Structures are given as structure tokens and as C-alpha cells.
Amino acid sequence: MVAIVKHAVGWLSVGLLTLLTVSSGCQPVPAPADLTPTAAMADPTPTAAAEATPEDNTQPTPTAAVEFAALDNPVAGFSISYPQEWVYSADIEESYLAQTDDALRTGDPNDGAMFMVMSRSVRDLQSQINSEITPDAVLNWIALNLFRNRGALIGESSPRSFGSHEGVGAQVMWVDTASGARIQAYLAATEAYGMATVAMAMSVDTDWNATWPIFEVMLGSLRLSEPYAYGNEVRGELELGIPGAAELLAGWSDQWTYTSSGDEVVSVAVRAASHRWDPFLEIRDANGRLLVSDDNGGEGYDSHAGAVWLAQPGNYSIYISGQTGAGLYEVEVTSVQPEGGAAEYGQAVEGEITELTEWQVWTFTGTAGDVVEVKMIPAQASLDCLLDLYDPDGLIVAADDPSDRPDATVVSAPLAADGLYRIAARSTNDTVGAYRLEVSRLMSEGGGELSLRQTVTGTILPGETHQYTFEGREADLTTVLIGALGGQLDTSLKVLGPDGVELAADDNSGSVRDARIEGLSLPTTGEYTVVAGAGAQTGGRYWLRVEPTAILGVLAYSDVVSGTVAPGARDSWLFDGLAGDVVTITVTATGEQTLDGYIELFTLNAAQLAVDDDSLDGVNPQIVGFELPETGTYRVVVQGYAEEDQGDYQLVVAVADRKE
């Protein structure tokens, strides 16, 4: 069986070359417990280490009993043979092959043997490796990162040929920290046609001898060629109800044409035929304007635009590309008569998404300049809502497909023209259920006086600002927060002093698109102004709050303090320093629940100076050797890397070089 699936997790999510330049996740990766790296492995050329030899515990698999198929990746410039029963995923510059669907999906060799082939341009790699690009240089660079980030043991390299092109290869071993299993691998590299090509075969140690003969055939079949310049392939005309079929090349896009009589609603489906790959669909009008795009609207990873309004007569272009992978597919345009009806401002209508009714289309009459809010609110928790708003020309002017909540809300920019607007209400993830649709014309509302610890709400139009005032005292540390009440409102904040001078500004420091100004030391006693803003294309309802900044304590250099971060919390600590002090700030997780910590360093003007995630050891953050720009008080924030992270920690600020 041959299959292409979307590799969204694990090793395959970022590609081998990218993966090896960073630590895997936020957990420490120790060297194998029973294999100690030699002193030579600390050298920048790790191939000097002793060879790692697998246990001889299985019998080799006779390759004569295995049927092989060919996989070509002309854009990446390589081809390879693989066992016909394996599965694979192909991208523009890389191909992943695996013994099982689970191994391909998770990227975990514990789920089955795996083989990867990747090509990158020599020019792109030059800046990362900082040396002449040769097979040895590429192999040593990857091997060094494997050693650093996975504690891998690297065997001696030896020459290996790929057809007429010479390369090198070496054996690799590491211990999987999650399962405790030894992973055996073989890493090879070569260079040709301006591309560096890397191959890596791997399996659990207990299966290595059984799968190595298969890996040998695959390595021996790897051939390099001049990479294709990828582009667009014109396929032909589509007619209603008659599927078109073609094979998409990796990295290319296919263009089909559909001629419409206008004022027509159609459905466009792209179905991967012989392979399970991830197609991507775009539909454009005669002027090249994008009407709709879709990734996984169909079954599995297939694309499906279920109700596309073709407002004008003429030719429409349907583009098909690979979000992940490539291969055979069918594309079909069908006529649809979606359910729905008319809606009016201030009116709520009821609808239902079922297995037979995947879309419903509602219409309303809009006036140029109106800012329209549409809410789709599920009646049952099982429905995951999605909204598209179309203008009279059939262009999508607003859309919402939230991943963190079941409802959907769109707010338009001011409508450009009078006319009939359409709302496409549908669901994601094949969910069904009843819903309520609300259409309203937004009116600006907000601004005024604020009190500390008071939360106010308002409605803001795209590109608009609201001004609030509050009374502040000199040296008070103050935090200003703003957030959207649903929808896709992108907020911003400014704080002006009593003299009207801007003291601080922020756009997206809060959650998602929210803004936050935290720990601002007020320079004088008086009336301060908060300017709340909306992005040029977004509007909606918001909340706003001004509050004192909570400080847990004041540190002296080398003091060790303890704290506990709750989910979503930010702990603030202060310390005093002199201009030129070189400080190192370290957070260490303590207790049973390991905190994946994150630290930030700020001035008391709320300006961020430095941040760190896990520089200390792959889990704990550390800001190393930062020189303080001026004499004064600084604020350190300790929080979890993700919203849900929590746990105990210790914090210390140490000075390495004190300027007298």
C-alpha cells in the first residue's frame, strides 16, 4: 500500500535538517545511559567517536521477497526505490518513507522503520554550516547536532556512492527518552547539481538487522538529477458534474478552468485518488482575485469548497497544489442549491448543519460604510462553526474558523458598496448540529474615565481608536490590558502621560491578538490617557482594564527566591542594577510538576530587553551575560512557556562584571 499523509507531529513536522539545529521539544535529551560519549565527541567533528554497533538479535530480511516501487521527486532532484507495502509523504524538497501509517504520522521509529531523503540548496546551507559545502561537511554538521540535541553516538564515516556521485555515510545510535528504546540509524550525505542531499534510515535496535537489507537496497537505489524548476501546469476545462483527473508533481500547481454563466453557486471538490496526500485548493475570478481557498474541507485531507458564489459570468480558475505531498487526484465542480434564507440587521435566524446539509447560505442587504458583525452560535457543543462573508462580487471579505472555541464571529471592514451580501455558515471537522445566526450593524461605543481595577467594555470599528483616562501617582507600577470579546479583533494600546507624550505602546504582547502594557512606572502624578485601537481590517467588542502591577519581591544580586507559576500567570520580580552590569538571570524548575519556564527582562518603561525559553539545559530558561543599559530598577517576569504550563521554580539574578 502506498499512502501520503500529512506529517503534522514528531520528527517529520519540521524536516530533518531543520530539526537538528534545535533541541527537540523542551525536555532534556541525555546521552544513552549505558554508552558514554568519548572525549572526541565533544570536538566539533563528532565522527571521531567510537562506532556504535547494534546487537545481533534478529535475522536479516531476504530482500528477494520484498517488492520495490519507484518514487521520483524531480523538484528535489532525486529518485529512490522503496518497499511497495511501505507508505510515504513527498514534499517539494523531501520525501519520508515508513513501514507503517503510524510511523509516518508520528515520526517515531518505535512505530516502524523509517527512511528520509531531503535536498537543500548549497546556497541556503552555506550560511548555516559556515564552511564549504561538501558531503563530509554536511554529515559532520548533522552528526554534531544529533550529538548535542539527542546524545547520539556517531560511528566513523566511510565513502558511499549514489550512482555516479560520491558521498559519505556513518552509523548513528541514540536512546529515545520517552520509551527508553535504542534507536539505530544510518546517515548519508552527498552533493550534486547545487543541492546537498541527506538520507537517513532508522529503526529500533531490535529490528535493525532485519530492516538493514531493505535500507541497503533503498540507499543503493538513490539517484540524483538536475532539480526541476517548479511552476504551474495548465490542465484544461471542467464541466458541471464531470470530474477531471491528473497527477500533481511535488512543488507544482495545476490550473483548471470553469466557465460560469454568473449568479451561480457551485461546490468544488479535490479528492486525492491513489494516494492519501493533502491537496490545497484556490478559486480565482477572471481578474485573478482570490474567491476562496480550502485545505481540509473534504474527507480526511481532501479539499472541498462547498458553496462558492460565482457572481459574474466568465472564466474562473481552479488551482490545485500540495499543502503536503503530491500525486493523483480528481477535481469536480457541481451545482448546489444551499439551504438558508434572508437575514436582517438585529435579527437572529436558526439553522442546522447535517450530514446532508453541510452548508447554509444567508443573505442580507448591506449599505456602503456599514460595519457588520455576524455571529454563528452553536446550540450543541458538538458543532464546530465556520463563517465566510461574501460581497456582491462574490469575494470573501471576512472569515472566521476559530480553533479555540466552537462559535464563529466575523466583523467586516466598512462595506465597500451597496448590495446583496451572502453569509456561508458551515462546520469544520465534519461536525453537525443546530445553530443561531445573528447579523448586526456595529456602532462605535467606548472611551471615558477609568478607575483602577475596573474592567470596561466597548465596541470599536476597524482602524478606530478610543481614549480613556485614569488618575495615576508618581512611581506607581501600572498594567493596562485589552482583549477581544470574540471574533478576530486585533487590538493595540498606547499610554500617554499628563503632558500628552507617549510613554509606552503595544500591539500583540497579550494572548493571540490582544495587547498588554505591563509594569509601567508612572513618571508623575496626574491624569493619564489610554488609547485603545483596532486594526485597519478588524473591529468588534473588547474589554479594557487598568490595574497595579503585582510585584512578588525585590532581589539583590545572587539572592535565590522561590515562586509558583499558575496556568496563564506572570510573576514579576524587581532588582536594582548599575549601567554596565553584566547579569545572568536563571530560572530552575523545582517540585514534582516540572515547569517549562519562560523569562523576560523589562525596564520600568515597560520596554522588553531580553527573553529566553530553555537556554540553560533544554527545559530551564536563562538570560546569559546581558549588559544593563542604565542604572535603575529592572523587572523580571517568570511564566510558563504555554498557557497551561505551571509549577514551582527558583529565580536568581547574578552579576558577572560590576561597573564601579
Residue type, 213: P
396 or 471, greater pLDDT: 471
Q: Tell me whether residue 1 is in a domain.
A: no
Q: Are residues 510 and 423 in the same domain?
A: no
Q: Is pLDDT above 80 for 561?
A: yes
Confidence category of residue 613, pLDDT binned at 50, 70, 90: confident
pLDDT at 658: 63
pLDDT at 448 over 50: yes
Secondary structure of 477-523 in HEC code, one letter for each residue:
EEEEEEEECCCCCCEEEEEECCCCCEEEEECCCCCCCCEEEEEEECC
- Shared domain check, 146 and 48: yes
Our measurement of the distance from residue 350's CA atom to the centroid of its chain's CA atoms, rounded to an integer in Å, reads: 35
Distance CA 470, CA 641 (A): 32
In DSSP terms, 539 is beta-bridged to none
My answer on whether 324 and 372 are in the same domain is: no
From 8-22, 183-197, 375-389, the region with the lowest mean pLDDT: 8-22
Domain for residue 611, yes or no? yes
Beta bridge partners of residue 339, listed in sequence order: 360
Predicted confidence (pLDDT) at residue 515 exceeds the cutoff of 70:
yes
Over range 14-33, report the average pLDDT: 35
Over 80: is that where the pLDDT of 26 sits?
A: no
How far is 393 from 291, CA to CA, in rounded Å? 9
Give the model's confidence band at 557: pLDDT under 50 very low, under 70 low, under 90 confident, else very high: very high
For 211, the 3-state DSSP assignment is helix
Would residue 176 count as lying in a domain?
Answer: yes
**pTM of the complete model beyond 0.95:** no
What distance in Å separates the CA atoms of residue 600 and residue 604, rounded to the nearest whole number? 13
Range of weakest confidence among 148-152, 391-395, 495-499:
148-152
Residues 306 and 350 in one domain: no
H or E element in which residue 138 lies: helix 135-150
Q: In the prediction, which pLDDT does 54 show?
A: 38
Same domain, 94 and 198: yes
563 and 517 part of one domain: no
pLDDT of residue 660: 53
How many whole angstroms separate alpha carbon 330 and alpha carbon 327? 10
Residues 415 and 343 reside in one and the same domain: yes
Give the mean model confidence (pLDDT) for residues 428-438: 89
- Hey, how many other C-beta atoms are within 10 angstroms of the C-beta on 367? 13
Angle, CA 179 vertex, CA 204 and CA 566 arms, to 5°: 145
Between CA 606 and CA 530 the distance in angstroms is 15
Domain count across the chain: 5
CATH number at residue 371: 2.60.120.380
Domain boundary among 441, 467, 492: 441
Q: Are strands 465-472 and 448-449 parallel, antiparallel or unpaired?
A: parallel
The verdict on 174 and 32 lying in the same domain is: yes
Among 16, 11, 33, smallest CA distance to 151 is for 33
Residues 351 and 328 in one domain: no
Residues 15 and 161 in one domain: yes
Q: Single out the residue of 89, 94, 62, 63 nearest to residue 76, CA to CA.
A: 94
- Average pLDDT (1-14) is 30
Q: Do the beta carbons of residue 638 and residue 587 sit within 8 Å?
A: yes
- Residue 292 included in any domain: yes
3-state secondary structure of 433: strand
Pairing of strands 477-484, 515-521: antiparallel
The predicted pLDDT at position 229 comes to 66
* Structural domain includes residue 168: yes
User: Mean pLDDT in the chain?
Assistant: 83
The grid coordinates listed for 512 are 493571540
Residue type, 559: D
Greatest Cα-to-Cα distance within the chain, rounded to the nearest angstrom:
86
641-651, pLDDT tens digit by residue? 888 888 999 99
Flag whether 2 is in a domain. no
Angle at 310 between CA 308 and CA 312, to 5 degrees: 165
Task: Pull the grid cell for residue 585.
Answer: 538571570
Q: Residues in the chain, how many?
A: 660
Residue 356 phi/psi, 5° resolution?
Answer: -95, -25
pLDDT at site 38? 31
Coil, strand, or helix at residue 556?
A: coil
Whole-number Å distance between alpha carbons of 440 and 461: 13
Residue 56 has pLDDT above 70, yes or no: no
pLDDT of 556 strictly over 60: yes
Q: Could you tell me the three cell numbers for 74?
A: 524531480
Say whether pLDDT at 14 is over 50: no
**Is residue 633 in a domain?**
yes
Question: What average pLDDT score do residues 219-224 get?
Answer: 93
Q: Which pLDDT band holds residue 519 (cuts at 50, 70, 90)?
A: very high
Question: Amino acid identity of 55?
Answer: E
Cβ contacts of 403 within 8 Å, gap of 6 or more: none
Tell which of 300, 335, 370 closes a domain: 335
> Is there a single domain that holds both residue 249 and residue 309?
yes
Angle, helices 135-150/122-129, rounded to nearest 10 degrees: 50
Between 329 and 325, name the one with better pLDDT: 329
Between the alpha carbon of residue 317 and those of residues 107, 237, 279, the distances in Å are: 36, 9, 16
Percent over 90 (pLDDT), the chain: 49
**Could you give the CA distance from residue 394 to residue 398 in angstroms, rounded to a whole number?**
12
Residues 6+ apart with CB under 8 A from 198: 16, 17, 116, 117, 118, 119, 138, 142, 187, 188, 189
Which range is least confidently modeled, 18-27, 347-356, 520-529? 18-27
| Average confidence (pLDDT) over 122-148 | 81
Same domain, 112 and 61: yes
Full residue range of the structural domain in which residue 623 is found: 553-657
Distance of CA 429 to the CA centre of its chain: 19
* pLDDT grade for 34, boundaries at 50, 70 and 90: very low
Residue 372 confidence (pLDDT) above 60: yes
pLDDT confidence of residue 545: 96
Residue-wise pLDDT for 482-491, tens only, equals 998 877 788 9
Pick from 65-69, 252-256, 498-502, 594-598 the range whose average pLDDT is largest: 498-502
Tell me how far apart the alpha carbons of residues 216 and 355 are, in angstroms, rounded to a whole number. 48
- Supply the CATH number for residue 152's domain: 3.40.1000.10
Whole-angstrom distance, CA of residue 348 vs CA of residue 376 = 10
Domain boundary among 193, 224, 255: 224
Q: Which pLDDT score is estimated for 63?
A: 56
Q: What is the 3-state secondary structure (H, E, C) of 538-602?
A: CCEEEEEEEEECCCCEEECCCCEEEEEECCCCEEEEEEEECCCCEEEEEEEEECCCCCCEEEEEE
What is the pLDDT, as a whole number, of residue 176? 85
The DSSP output letter for 206 is G
